[in-house]
Amino acid sequence: MTVNPQYILSEVLRLSAGRNLCLAYSGGVDSHVLLHLLASLPVEQRPKLSVIHIDHGLNADSARWAIHCQKTVEALGLCCEVIKVNVTQINELGLEAAARQARYQAFRQRLTEQDCLLTAQHQQDQAETVLLQLFRGAGVRGLSAMQAVTDLAGLRVVRPLLNVSRDALVAYANQHQLDWLEDPSNDDISINRNFLRHQVMPLLADRWPAISATLSRTASHQADAQLLLDELAQADLAAAEVDWAVASVSISALSQLSRQRCANALRFWLQRLGFQAPATIQLERIMDDVFSAAIDREPLVHWHNVEVRRFHQRLYAMAAPCSRPQPIHLVDTSDIPLSDNMILHWQPHRGAGLSLQTIQSGLTVAYRKGGEKIQLAGHAHHHSLKKLFQQWQIPPWQRQRIPLLFAGSELVAVVGYGWSAKHAVKDNETGWIAHTQAGQQTSFSLSDIADSGNL
């Protein structure tokens, strides 16, 4: 196998779909070859191209590597941005996973939906990923390993070298006299991937010379199977009256499915919502404990930062609450970031909402403590917030998470539900209605980026 520059570059242009290109450049042989190929594209044919090198600060030579990468990129007439990251949670995640999480977080903060991140994982990386997932007991999705195109929290990631062997990349690099870096940590066999690479894969290749290509083909077959499972899940969730806005789905409808089909729908639902994928034991608890709980019970299954609950024959998924947020003061209609990656957003409405004067006089965003009352616009009397929540059929656990707006100690709005008659605008005036919306996701689930190879 040899590197086919024309094919690889055509795949980059096809898969990036008109977005700006950003190469994740480690300085290793694989990303250096991809850099060299991209630089060979005529400027008039090449989308806007940027290069980022992540300095993890984990090696004493990392600063020298960053300088090497900048000089290498500049020699090709391009610019290289060096981003230093702080690798945390090493004890909890392991060094490799923690470093991976830190760099993907940096990419997500730097890039937008108009950008496409190019990474240089090759065929051996793909084969190793299949084996790592197999040894974890992964299902179809895990065994599909890395895809040529992945969407991570709105960021497109393209891997154009997955069908290219490392030997072919090294041969290309030698042919063009490329000067690449060797990270000594890649020789540390205490890291699972390196153990496979140095101890296991050579033995397998001696017996089955095409092992990397064969395992990569297995990943492709599993990806096709996962696509069919996802299509089935979407159909089952539609029949189960899924409500993506409030992250809920009908329990009675899911209960009519076979156990395997129900588990498939639940996995898809949770992952589409952006939550960490549940392990088999959590899925079983949802189907056994939550589905069958008595109507007066409030069952809960949780893992990592995810909670799944039941209310009125519907299943709800949500992020676990953080510590009680501090009050936030506002004096205008600018967006305000809240907890749980939510934003307080104002919209103008004719004849409805709070007056601008009320807002500009100063409001406080806080949460329920108990005993609050409000006379809503269109109502003749005050009602307790507790009674209103019951009338609106808001699940008990959500009531503590709904933002409230206060003018001093007076409750003037329940965000997303109603506002005070006293502070409401008249029919011929423009008012402002507050509601919440999801903020831009800037972090990745580890299940999305796990074992994606070295950058």
420 assigned to a ligand binding site = no
* Residue 444, pLDDT above cutoff 70: no
pLDDT (mean) for 303-316: 91
* Residue 36, pLDDT above cutoff 60: yes
Determine if residue 304 is left, alpha or beta; phi over 0 gives left, psi from -120 to 50 gives alpha, anything else beta.
Answer: left
User: Position of tokens 């807002």?
Assistant: 359
User: Position of tokens 């900048």?
Assistant: 70
Other beta carbons within 10 Å of 187: 11
d(CA 274, CA 317): 10
31 assigned to a ligand binding site = yes
For residue 433, what are its two tokens?
A: 């209605």
* Residue 440, pLDDT above cutoff 90: no
Those residues whose C-beta lies under 8 Å from the C-beta of residue 72, and which sit 6 or more positions away, are: 27, 32, 35, 80, 179
pLDDT per position as a tens digit, 110-135:
999 999 999 999 999 999 999 999 99
Determine if residue 398 is left, alpha or beta; phi over 0 gives left, psi from -120 to 50 gives alpha, anything else beta.
Answer: alpha
* DSSP class per residue in 381-422: S-EEHHHHHHHTT--GGGGGGS-EEEETTEEEEETTTEEBST
* DSSP class per residue in 114-158: TEEEE----HHHHHHHHHHHHHTT--HHHHT---SEEEETTEEEE
> End-to-end distance of the chain based on CA atoms, in angstroms?
22
Q: Which CATH architecture has domain 240-319?
A: Up-down Bundle (1.20)
* Residue 443, pLDDT above cutoff 60: no
378 assigned to a ligand binding site = no
Average pLDDT over the chain reads 91
pLDDT per position as a tens digit, 97-110:
889 889 999 998 99
28 assigned to a ligand binding site = yes
362 assigned to a ligand binding site = no
User: Which residues of the chain form CATH 3.40.50.620?
Assistant: 5-223
pLDDT per position as a tens digit, 217-245:
999 999 999 999 999 999 999 999 999 88
pTM of the model: 0.80
d(CA 209, CA 203): 10
pLDDT at residue number 439: 61
Cβ-based burial of 77 (10 A; exposed 0-12, middle 13-18, buried ≥19): exposed
pLDDT per position as a tens digit, 344-387:
999 999 999 999 999 999 999 999 999 999 999 999 899 999 99
For residue 444, what are its two tokens?
A: 């990745």
Q: Looking at the domain 5-223, which fold is it?
A: Rossmann fold (3.40.50)
User: Position of tokens 């809960």?
Assistant: 300
Residue pair 148/220 in contact (Cβ under 8 Å)? The answer is: no
Comparing CA positions, the residue from 327, 352, 339, 344 lying closest to residue 406 is 327
The CA-atom distances, in angstroms, between 243 and each of 240, 247, 317, 351, 445 are 9, 6, 11, 29, 22
* Residue 401, pLDDT above cutoff 90: no
pLDDT at residue number 153: 75
* DSSP class per residue in 201-262: HHHHHHH-TTHHHHHHHHHHHHHHHHHHHHHHHHHHHHHTT-BTTTTEEEHHHHHTS-HHHH
137 assigned to a ligand binding site = no
User: Which residues of the chain form CATH 1.20.59.20?
Assistant: 240-319
DSSP 77: T
pLDDT per position as a tens digit, 80-95:
999 999 998 888 788 8
Half-sphere exposure of 335 (CA within 13 A, CB side): 10
β-sheet bridge partners, residue 353: none
